[in-house]
Amino acid sequence: MQSEIISKLNRHISEGLTREADIVYLLVQLSKLLHQQGILNKYPVLSFYRNWVVHYQLDRLSSNPTMKEIFDRLEMAVRARSQGDEEKALSTLTDTISLKKLWKEINTAFDTSEEFDKTLLKNSKFWSNFGGLLLSILVDLPLIVPAEPSYKNIEEFRFVPAEDDTHIACIQIKLRTGLLLEGHVTWGKAENYQVRSDKI
């Protein structure tokens, strides 16, 4: 069963990533493989994006360990910002949802089996297509956070189109107070993290 998944992934990637459906297939099948291997919990960022591309609204967040870890860290970033610690807020946000970390987890996942054709991941076009298509799925697809006791701050998390060519997207975190936290996404990190004090 695992060999079949790996074979399909090798073939799928070798044919090139050209559609949004290609990204969904890659994330879902890779997660399925890691689940069968019993190590999916070691890939929280991969799980986060896999869940997002197939579920825009998360239920029973507290019962999903990997998603809970991500949103615990996002809540930590929000608390750091409210306490005036901009540096900690930025570093926490960046470390939690960066595409660079996602790519690292995908590379590590390919190391779990010698059957994977790892040369496929060395193509820079693969990563540029992957990132562009992933964000095209997620842009304007808000991730709705259920109102649970552990998540008192964050109501919604989303990517929106970048305003210029220097970034690939913007991050927006809508708080339950009505405030909107914003940042910009480059290929490696989130930057220019700021808070807009106006109500939305």
pLDDT digits (tens, 9 = 90+) for 171-189: 888 888 888 877 766 655 4
Q: Is residue 178 part of a domain?
A: no
- At 60, the pLDDT band (50, 70, 90 cuts) reads low
Q: Is residue 61 part of a domain?
A: yes
3-state SS, residue 194: strand
CA distance between the termini of the chain: 49
Residue-wise pLDDT for 25-54, tens only, equals 999 999 999 999 999 989 988 998 998 888
Q: Is residue 189 part of a domain?
A: no
List the 190-196 sheet strands across, edge first: 143-144, 154-160, 169-175, 180-185, 190-196
Q: Does 199 score more than 50 pLDDT?
A: no
Q: What is the model's pTM?
A: 0.81
Q: Is residue 177 part of a domain?
A: no
Give the pair of three-digit tokens for residue 155.
Answer: 């109501």
CA distances from 94 to 45, 50, 52, 53, 69 (A): 12, 18, 18, 20, 14
Q: Is residue 170 part of a domain?
A: no
Q: Is residue 169 part of a domain?
A: no
Measured distance CA(110)–CA(176) in Å, rounded? 39
Strand partners, 172: 158, 182
Q: Is residue 53 part of a domain?
A: yes
Q: Tell me which residue range forms the domain holding 124.
A: 2-144
Q: Is residue 165 part of a domain?
A: no
The total number of structural domains in the chain stands at 1
Q: Does 61 score more than 80 pLDDT?
A: no
Question: Residue 40's closest CA among 53, 52, 27?
Answer: 27
Helix axes 44-54, 86-97, angle to 10 degrees: 70
